[in-house]
Structure 1
Amino acid sequence: MLFIDVVIILSAILSSSWILLETFYYTRSGISYPARGSADGKASIIVAIKEEDPSTISELVENLSKLNYSDYEVILVSDDPEEKFERLKHIKLPVNFRLVRRDKPHGRKAGALNYGVSLSSGELLVFLDAEARVDPDFLTKVSTHLRQAEAVALRLKVRDLKNKLQVLYSGITEFSMDSLFRGRYLRGLPIFPNGSAFAIKSSTLKRIGGWKEGVVAEDLEIGIRLFLNGVKVGYADDVVVETLAPYNWKDLFHQMKRWAYGSGQLLPYSLSMISKGIKGIEGAMYANQWGIYPLFFIVLLIAGFLSPILSSSPIIWISSMSLFLLSSLVFSLRSRTREYDLRIPALMISAFLSGYFLGLFNAKFSWRVTPKVEREQELWIPLEPNVISYLFLVSGIITLKSYLIQGTILFVISIVLLIIP
């Protein structure tokens, strides 16, 4: 077997293994939690906001003002320019709410969160996004969980589904919660918090040094750091935080690209988890899943360009592609997908490939806030997916001169990537 064949089959195994692990983790088994107690300690809810519609913030304030908790505060930290911040000042705030603006918004979202923490006085810290909506007993449940763990990830649920894309996104979120959070938690694997719904003791956050400023995936980074510092993050499946889904394909693409960029940026740091044994190795895979998904396709693309000097076996290409497709089929069946659209995996491959690659080289990255309100559809010509599709097309043309099957596979991948709207 030639060297390039070994690389192709190994990349297929790695990409497929994570897809199959997700299906293995998936479970609907219940989690036994301790009985809910009374309020335990002052809680500070911190929300970083930027370029949010005033109606979103107004609804957030109304929602959080109805919490049944004796002692809590809400701190809204805005990184908006002065003219946009002015639009928020008309919102009526309860006495335990604060709306502040950072004159110098450095450190990205993590910088805003650290600023909010510096203003807080709670023993329990809760971090939410602007579109988050919770039940009145939310903080009571969080307080109960933080008696058992120093930090806890909360369950996300997508609300207000208005189109097919949002239904698809909701299904992905539900599966992720039942697999990567509930399933991994029940197996004793490290939980990595979602920055949209996360709670931690103030003393613990202070001990590990707060949020890491400047990184794109601040939630993934703090999850890695908590694991390396021996802090076990719990998972509260019974504490639901409702969120919103992107309204269109462009928003979803840029959101997924941001996730992948953050993962690629943290690759060297995430690999340090391997020193912690099997759980650390699995944790490193989780942290780099956005790079693992498209890895197989990257290898095929490179193999195509190298085909004039490095020959490869069509049997290896066929068997590797069959393995990847079979694992994807198992994933689809296991996740009980009701709505399916080929544009979702095509979008994921393009977004993860481009985002992770840029993150690896710490390329200049412009943060795009995913819009939270419905708006008119805009014409979107997806640049990155088209460039990636073109690269597969060129690679296929080069390969086709000597290898029919390999070239055909590359052509098909190129066409599939073009179905994104």
Structure 2
Amino acid sequence: MDIHGISFLLYNTFLIPVTFFSFVYYIVALRSILSKEENEDFDGGGIDWPQVTIQIPTFNEPVAIRCAKSCLNFDYPKEKFDIIIGDDSTDERVSKAIDDFAKRNRGKVTVTRRGHNRGFKAGNLNHMLKFSRGEIIVIFDSDFIAPRNFLKRIVKPFVKDKKVGCVQAEWDFLNENTNYISKLSSTLLMFYYSLIVPINKRLGVPFLFGSGEAVRKDLILELGGWQEGSLTEDTEFSLRIFKEGYKIVYLNDVKVKGEVPYTLKGLMSQQRRWAYGNTRAFLEHSRDILLGRLSLLQKMMVAYTTSIGYLSNFFLLLFLITGIVYFFSQPSAPIDIGRFISKTSEIFLMTSGFLLGGVVALSKKNKSEILFSSLVSVLTVGFLVSFSVSVGFFKAIFGKKMVWSAINKQGNFDFIPQKSDGGYK
């Protein structure tokens, strides 16, 4: 069998799982179109607000100062919250800028340091916990900012329901319009927030995102802290929450803004790390999750969100590659235009669930204006991103090691010129 025949065989083989995932996204997109997001009622009157500690872990990221400034403006009782910047920086300029800021806000902002970066972000969070006075811990990645009423909104579910262990706000973006890469980065996240998260929320298994989240301090201690060395400590902790039967509340109408990767290297690194970390977390807890207290639908969505869903990238990538090889390796012959159009239309309908999902996601978030640029990015650098995701997934499956790779933030340049990448995100 020549290369044309082999590519034809593989193309049709990969068409099967691609069609399956496309059908899944057709269903998910249709559900999103027909459903309405439910917002949480908010009335902050007459509440005895609990003590809160805001943790901002950072690694060579002066943009953490911007995050802390945003937190200082919260309309929460001033005596009821404090801010800790966990500075793992190796750049003395960054540490000095953070120290100067803390001195100007003495009594509200403190700085903790470990002198190393072991355990990555999770290790930093565990270290800050030793100095945290609040009964509720709120965590921000350094590039995030939040609206003035954020703290009251995210704390109220804890006051209303003692069974609530964690609360997660929705993410929005500060730099989505920087370039084609940032538009693709934000589109991928909006796809997740618009199509997958609402289902997880409805089923009672929404995940933490790692920023814009709040957790009861007692619960963190009860479950043994954050898993140091995990590349996605938020997902790993969420799985432990599900196993133990605690409740995570997702607030889709409370939004925090952060940066998305704006370079191809940054986007590939982020997506590879997420695929690896999420898959490793699921594999570690898979027995307890699949045999535990969750319902069948909950188990299916947890597995899909943390691992199985990444296979769609792998199969779609192979489907496109083998399709291209098949098309260009066919013997020279007159093209039957009618048959070509008919077959292409058939394949398009079978596989365009991914495209429909993206269109619906952007429409739901009122971001339709970036559809064209996102589509261009998907059809070009999207191949490399899918490859990176697949590498992360299969490294996790086969137990290969992966270290935390830093992603630079545009906001860092507002404080100190950056010579190298830094950051936890």
How would you bin the TM-score normalised by the shorter chain?
Answer: 0.7 to 0.9
Contact 1:12 1:320 (8 Å CA) reproduced: no
Contact 2:278/2:306, CA 8 A, preserved across alignment: yes
Query: 2: distance between equivalents of 1:39 and 1:132?
Result: 27
Does 1:288 pair with 2:307? yes
Matched with 2:29 is 23
Percent identical among aligned pairs is: 21
Any stretches of 5+ residues in structure 1 without a counterpart? 305-316, 379-421
TM-score by length of 1: 0.76
Structure with bigger RCO (C-alpha 8 Å, 6+ apart): 2
**Does structure 1 residue 146 correspond to structure 2 residue 158?**
yes
2:220 maps to: 205
Q: Which residue of 2 aligns with 1:415?
A: none
In the TM superposition, 1:393-412 aligns within 5 A as none
Alignment of 1:16-415 (within 5 A): 16-20=22-26, 22-26=28-32, 29-37=36-44, 38-52=47-61, 54=62, 56-70=63-77, 71-81=80-90, 83=92, 84-91=94-101, 92-147=104-159, 148=161, 149-160=164-175, 161-185=177-201, 187-272=202-287, 273-275=289-291, 276=294, 277-289=296-308, 291-297=310-316, 325-335=351-361, 336=363, 337-338=368-369, 339-340=371-372, 341-344=375-378, 345-373=382-410
- Mapped partners of 1:299, 1:286: distance in 2: 21
1:13 Cα deviation from its structure 2 partner: 5.0
Aligned partner of 2:338 in structure 1 is none
Q: Distance in 1 between matches of 2:180 and 2:316?
A: 27
Contact 1:270 1:284 in 2 (8 A): no
State the alpha-carbon separation in 1 of the partners of residues 123 and 24 from structure 2.
Answer: 32
1:398 is aligned to none
List per-residue Cα deviations over 1:182-229 (Å, max 9, x = no partner). 3432x2241011002211112222222221111111111111111111
Check conservation: 1:157, 1:243, Cα contact below 8 A.
Answer: yes
**Which secondary structure state, in structure 1, belongs to the residue aligned with residue 139 of structure 2?**
strand
Tell me: CA distance 1:170–1:329, structure 2 relative to 1, closer, same or farther (3 Å).
closer
Q: Which runs of 5+ in 2 are unaligned?
A: 1-8, 324-342, 420-425
8 Å Cα contact 2:200-2:301 kept in structure 1 = no
Letter in 2 for 1:283: V
- SS of residue paired to 1:98: strand
CA distance in structure 1 between the aligned counterparts of 2:285 and 2:347, rounded to whole angstroms: 28
Call closer, same or farther: CA 1:173–1:229 in 2, change over 3 Å.
same
* Alpha-carbon shift at residue 298 of structure 1 (Å): 7.2
Shift of residue 44, structure 1, vs aligned partner: 0.9
Spell out, residue by residue over 1:89-109, the C-alpha distance to the aligned partner (whole angstroms, 9 max, x if none). 222334121111112332121
Note closer, same or farther for the CA distance 1:46–1:15 as it changes in structure 2 (3 Å cut).
same
8 Å contact kept, 1:110–1:212: yes
In 1, distance between residues paired with 2:311 and 2:27?
Answer: 12
Give the Cα separation in 2 of the matches to 1:123 and 1:334: 39
Offset at 1:234?
A: 0.8
Q: Which of 11, 14, 17 is equivalent to 1:11?
A: 17
Q: Is the 8 A contact 2:236 2:282 kept in 1?
A: no
Q: What's the TM-score once normalised by structure 2's chain length?
A: 0.75
CA distance in 2, matches of 1:12, 1:320: 14
What letter is aligned with 2:21?
S
**Take 1:93 and 1:133, find their aligned partners in 2: how far apart are those partners?**
18
